Amino acid sequence: MLVDHLPMTWTTDTVTGPDGLVCSVDRLASEAGAAVLRAGGNAVDAAIATSAALTVTTPHMCGMGGDLFALVGGPGTGSAEPLVLNASGRAGSGADPDRLRAEGHRAMPMRGDVRSAPVPGCVDGWLTLHGRSGRLLLADVLAPAIELAEGGFPASPLLASALPRLDGLVGCDELVGSGVAEGERLVRPGPARMLRAIAAEGRDGFYGGEFGERLLEVGAGEYAAEDLERSLADWVDGLFLDVWGHRVWTVPPNSQGYLGLAGAGIAERVGLSAQPDDAAWAHLTVEAARLAGFDRPSSLSDGADGARLIAPDRLDERAAMFDPQRPAQLGDRYRGGGTIYLCASDGDGMGVSLIQSNASGFGAHVAVPGTGILLHNRGIGFSLEQGHPAEYGPGRRPPHTLAPALVTRPDGSLRAVLGTMGGDAQPQVVLQMLARLLVAGQDPGSLLSAPRWVLGVEGGTGFDVWERPDAHLVRIEQHAPESWRTGLQERGHVVETAGRDIGGFGHAHLVEFPLDGPARGAADPRSLIGAAVAG
């Protein structure tokens, strides 16, 4: 289990699980997944159980009104390669970019507008994962989440502090105006009812039931009935890159997962050392992330060619732009977010890397009345530029920040599942995790408690880093080595040390599968109540 401390002193203990392991941002959710493992479920069952519990206990980060991506690897998948699932929603049939432009919008509305909420794919993701690889009955997998929703749970510090942001929101009475204090019991009757409907009727119980009916009402023409009839979860070919003696896998576009792979490929080409405390290590990883991502807005769409985005010649060109003494002058766009990542393993060696999200905090701040579900605002990834490859339009998937990862060895065996929340910071954190795991050889606990950097801009909103390339700064955590600060400053970076606020550096988790023993993993101490629980 992780131990909660201040950022300067926290530690994370690695937990080994001979019969399986679950890591998430919430101890209650991790326990839900572990209980399913103990009941005879596999890693997929545990991941779904944990994910469902998180939709109950962490509505400020995820929910049934959001999206989901997953990778599944190891024994029991029936495939020599990892299974890769894209359960991200599509814009409704009423999506009209001209109308938004006529209203004066130059970008998709951040909050308070249902048009930034594609039809949510999370529940389709659960059902598709379970239908292919689940072992237990769906009702048994969802039972722990239902129990949390009906019986109540203590509000986490992050949830209690976030709930006031919903003041004035119509349609989600169980969260609005509740005045919940940290540790106070919160009951979620709406999600409990939705989960029971899913357990009893599957897809029809959700998209064809109360949620779907209310979604059409709140959409007021944004969605049509046929938008809810089509499954939003697709099995896709995984995107991979051979780097540092391993093969790293992610979800292809519309996911931005390619950025983590590209950053690792650039770092390998430049020659990353095994000394993370070195200023040169920090500079190289920062620059690898920037070189990988500077053209993300023009490159990422649901029709983008992921293989081309990580092609050797493309990575060679970018690695050649690296300067060991100064930062590159680049431009792109950055977005923050409200997301959760979890990973699970079972006694057979199967691993699941799963991520789900509202996008930004409570998402679009649009509730589906009576259901207790808030809609995500993943549509903010769309462009309103006419003719842009990611232009908002009917049936389209927006560019997505969700970027889970899975690592295999040259023989195809599973090495690790990993990922993080954090908007466009996700591939930056994944890059640092891969470098610490595959180059520095750190164990999960040391890796997750180690200091991180993320890109930002002075006085920015958290959504404009790549729009202001001349104002880039590197935010580093309090417990980062002094060599990072001085070395980055000497190389021309503007450096900001974060205070006691640990937001923005991700909530990452990792399970590693050693060749000579049981799986081991850890949850991120930055999540405060997260846990790695053996099943």
Query: How, if at all, do strands 351-359 and 367-368 pair?
Result: unpaired
Say how far apart CA 79 and CA 37 lie, in whole Å: 22
| Token pair 């053996």: residue | 534
* Paired tokens of 299: 């490159």
Q: Which residues contact 494 (CB under 8 A, 6 or more apart)?
A: 458, 472, 473, 474
Say how far apart CA 41 and CA 47 lie, in whole Å: 10
| Token pair 């529940």: residue | 123
Asked if 355 and 71 count as a contact pair (C-beta separation under 8 A), the reply is no
Say how far apart CA 198 and CA 115 lie, in whole Å: 26
Which 3 state secondary structure label does DSSP give 423? helix
Which 3 state secondary structure label does DSSP give 13? coil
* Paired tokens of 523: 């949850």
Say how far apart CA 257 and CA 82 lie, in whole Å: 15
Which one, of 11, 394, 376, 431, lies nearest residue 248 by Cα? 431
In 45-78, which positions are buried (b, 16+ CB within 10 angstroms) versus exposed (e)? bbbbbbbbbbbbbbbbbbbbbbbbbbbbbbebbe
Count structural domains, the chain. Answer: 1
Which of 12, 50, 55, 339 is catalytic? The answer is 339
Tens digits of pLDDT across the chain (535 residues): 222 223 334 455 566 666 899 999 899 999 999 999 999 999 999 999 999 999 999 998 899 999 999 999 999 999 999 999 999 999 999 999 999 999 999 999 999 999 999 999 999 999 999 999 999 999 999 999 999 999 999 999 889 988 998 988 888 888 876 678 899 999 999 999 999 999 999 999 999 999 999 999 999 999 999 999 999 999 999 999 999 999 999 999 999 999 999 999 999 999 999 999 999 999 999 999 999 988 888 899 999 999 999 999 999 999 999 999 999 876 433 334 457 889 999 999 999 999 998 888 899 999 999 999 999 999 999 999 999 999 999 999 999 888 899 999 999 999 999 999 877 788 999 999 999 999 999 999 999 999 999 987 676 655 566 666 667 789 999 999 999 999 999 999 999 998 766 667 888 999 999 998 899 999 888 877 777 678 7
Which 3 state secondary structure label does DSSP give 457? strand
Active site residue 339: yes
Q: Largest Cα–Cα distance in the chain?
A: 62
Signed CA dihedral, 332, 334, 340, 342: sign only: positive
Tell me which residue range forms the domain holding 405: 1-535
DSSP single-letter state for residue 229: H
CB neighbours (10 Å) of residue 517? 9
Asked if 342 and 23 count as a contact pair (C-beta separation under 8 A), the reply is yes
Say how far apart CA 179 and CA 197 lie, in whole Å: 29
Q: What pTM does this model have?
A: 0.93
Q: Which residues contact 150 (CB under 8 A, 6 or more apart)?
A: 187, 188, 189, 192
Q: What is the DSSP string of 35-56?
A: HHHHTT--HHHHHHHHHHHHHH
Burial class (CB in 10 A: 0-12, 13-18, 19+), 414: buried
DSSP single-letter state for residue 436: I
Going through 165-252 in order, the beta strands assigned E by DSSP cover 185-186, 234-236, 239-243, 246-250
